[in-house]
Amino acid sequence: MRCVYGIWDGTVFDARRDSARRQAPPLSGFDEVALDTAAMAFIADRGFLILDESVSLAFAFSDYLSRAADESCGRCTPCRVGTQRLSELLGKIVDGSAAADAADEARALSWQITQTALCGMGQNCARALHEALTHFPEEFGAMTPAQAVFQHSFIYVTAPCVEACPSKIDVPRYIDGVKSGRFDFALGVVLDKYPLVGSCGRVCVRFCEGACRRGAAEGPVGIRMLKRHVADQAFGRHRLRFSPSGERHDKRVAVIGAGPAGITCAYKLLLGGIRVDVFDAQWAAGGMAAQGIPSYRLPKYVLKVESEDIIRQLGGHFLYGKALGRDFSVDDLLGKGYDAVFLAYGASKASQLGVRNEELVPRGYVSGLDFLFKVYRHVEGGEPFELAGDVVVVGGGNVAMDCVRSARRMGAKSVHLVYRRTLEDMPADREEVLAAQREGVIFHCLSNPSELVVEGRQVAGVKLLTMRQTGVDARGRRGVEPVPDAETFMACDWVIAAIGQVVANDVLRPEEGIELDRWNWVMADPDTLETSRPGVFAGGDCVLGPLSSMTLVNALDHGERAAASIRDYLLSGHTHVTPERRMQKFLAENRLLDDKRLERAPLEKPRAHVPELAEDERVLNFAEVEGAIAKEAAYEEASRCLRCYRLYSLVTVKSLQGGHMQGTPREAPATSAFGAQHATTSFGR
């Protein structure tokens, strides 16, 4: 594939008169996005590339600016009026009815919009058009009948925060809802993806905020706090009611695991009219979110409402106390009338430290997961569990942070965190690390346990190796190694190993035909989540493994995508990868949204402060530490959003399934009016 002419990042090239000068495009992967048709052109905020000289450039930009006009929030005249006018001018150029100076007017107007629009979408949507009209004005003529037959535009609208989110939540859109006081609208944007809005609004690790361009000013927009605010408005003041879908199909799906991935998959399938039974080895829904995330971060009543209550309202059924591999098999399910199975049983077995005396399993030695389960059953169920003396937690992830902070609340005399790398290398959420330090946890970085010291079957301490940093590995991370003859002893009463989780090896039998890797993670297609056995899909931690960082939002994404694939499989006999998904991979591979520089410095607006319990109060019990921001603060925080939408248009010979043609507006999200039925709709994103 070669470029005929175009502009990219300010560089103009033109090989129309000399095909030998045609060059490879500065981006790769057009064929993967177009899939079964030919890519002809690409338009973005950084320029445009013409791959087939038969393209009508005027028509391609007409589609592009028409979609930009649809996306305008209407808050500033340049974007609201300017994009509409550009769309009209280009439409007239395409049909041959434009005045002689239409192209000159469009060129001047596109520059004015770029320079004066208030939001990121307005500042970027007309930039490529201005460059095209400046350098290739002769290409803006009426569209021929032949061109109209084979030219189709697939336009994908996104933003840095959207692409950073595994679930691809339309973040600026639900923030628009908060700005305008339409909390039902904002809630519907998220509910179109998953039901755990308030839960995610409390414990999400905020990939979106890491990508927020406002971070280049006085700090990223508080996206997570706004999501929680929207959920609290719905579930606090009102009781949302979800009714079974009016669409009904004679299909049944078994979902194995009532954690975030399984709940989301069941939710989306039920909304699509497919019957669902959810199996779980425990006696309540929520999975690791329920048992592994302490109540001071995620109150269990919030999770119950957003998981078990919603699934039941939609007509789903739970079968608790039923474990795959112990009480039933995949063969049993497929042989008893289920048309498909979704495996979402998680990774609930703890990794071992691999140190001396670990095999003795002394009293006072426990895995991070088992410790959190004990805390959960004590706090939520009243089961006896006492923690006294000095506690050492080994690890640097979010589970380790949950362990040290829970140990403080359980009454430990002192709590120490041992981590073999530096503080900067810790994979845990920065806010969790800071919270642990403020709550009195003592950090010992560049330390690694080598032996449990055991006296009379009881932990008496741990021997620690002093570590030092070495060179950078292939992933760009500094390695570590022990310092010779630098071992120390730390006395303690408890050692908690929080270094990771694995999948139990007795869940699936080899004869069931589901391929596993050497760590027992289920091997599933990364796009469709199909396993090696037809009709069986898998997602969540049993697929993602250690690479997922065990985050809630990754599991939510898998649940939604699995539901879409299962629905395809049940209703059409096969699955497919959507053009949106292919475009997302294209954008990621070409790093088109990595630039965090601001087009224009915004007026300074400090980030909202989330109210918290006082530090001397929070370690006394498991009450929720973070509070909700006030409505006025939510309005102010939402107004900090720069609305950094970007439009990406791929012109193809055949229309891509799900593509947006000229003038096709994006549909509204699920309305979710308080107390009303929740109805699904397609975003087309």
- Check residue 547 and give its pLDDT: 54
The reported pLDDT for the residue numbered 238 is 55
Q: How far is CA 180 from the centre of its chain?
A: 25
pLDDT for residue 247: 84
Cα dihedral 138, 139, 144, 147 in deg (nearest 10): 160
Write down the pLDDT at residue 667.
41
Task: Evaluate whether the domain defined by 5-159+645-652 bears CATH number 1.20.1440.230.
Answer: yes
Task: List CB contacts of 500: < 8 A, sequence separation 6 or more.
Answer: 350, 351, 395, 397, 546
Mind listing the pLDDT tens digit for each residue in 519-553?
Answer: 889 999 999 999 999 999 999 999 987 654 458 99
Helices (H), 619-671: 631-638
The residue ranges of every structural domain in the chain are 5-159+645-652, 162-240+591-638, 252-348+502-577, 352-498
Block means of pLDDT (10 residues each) for the chain, 685 residues, are 91 85 86 92 96 93 94 86 93 90 94 92 94 95 85 95 96 94 92 95 94 93 96 73 84 96 97 96 92 94 93 96 94 95 89 91 93 95 94 94 96 96 92 94 97 95 95 83 94 94 86 91 95 96 70 93 97 93 96 86 91 89 93 95 95 74 37 34 29
pTM equals 0.91
Is-contact 516 542, C-beta < 8 A? no
Tell me how many helices (H) and strands (E) the chain has: 26, 21
Q: How far apart are CA 339 and CA 32, in angstroms?
A: 31
- Residue 122: name the closest of 85, 202, 68, 66 by CA: 68
- The residues near 104 (Cβ < 8 Å, ≥ 6 apart) are none
Q: Is 74 helix (H, G, I), strand (E, B) or coil?
A: coil
Cα 330 to Cα 344, 374, 530, 567, distances in angstroms: 13, 30, 14, 19
Name residues whose C-beta falls within 8 Å of residue 379's C-beta, 6 or more positions apart in sequence: 294, 295, 622
- pLDDT, tens digit, 9 for 90 and up, residues 387-437: 999 999 999 999 999 999 999 999 999 999 999 999 999 999 999 999 999
Cβ(292)–Cβ(605) under 8 Å? no
Determine which helix (DSSP H) or strand (DSSP E) holds 297, and give its type and residue range. Answer: none
SS3 294: coil
pLDDT recorded at residue 601: 82
Q: Please report the pLDDT score of residue 133 as a whole number.
A: 96
- CATH architecture of the domain with range 252-348+502-577: 3-Layer(bba) Sandwich (3.50)
The confidence score (pLDDT) of residue 39 equals 94
Q: What confidence score (pLDDT) does residue 2 get?
A: 86
Output the CA torsion 671→676→680→681 (10° steps): -30
Position 674 scores a pLDDT of: 31
Rounded CA-CA distance 180/74 in Å is 12
In whole angstroms, give the CA distance from residue 532 to residue 525: 9
Q: Are 218 and 170 in contact (CB under 8 A)?
A: no
Contacts of 236 (CB under 8 A, 6+ apart): none
- Matching fold, domains 162-240+591-638 and 252-348+502-577: no
CATH assignment of 162-240+591-638, among 2.60.40, 2.40.50, 1.10.1060, 2.40.10? 1.10.1060
What is 352-498's CATH number? Answer: 3.50.50.60
- Two tokens at 214? 């406002």
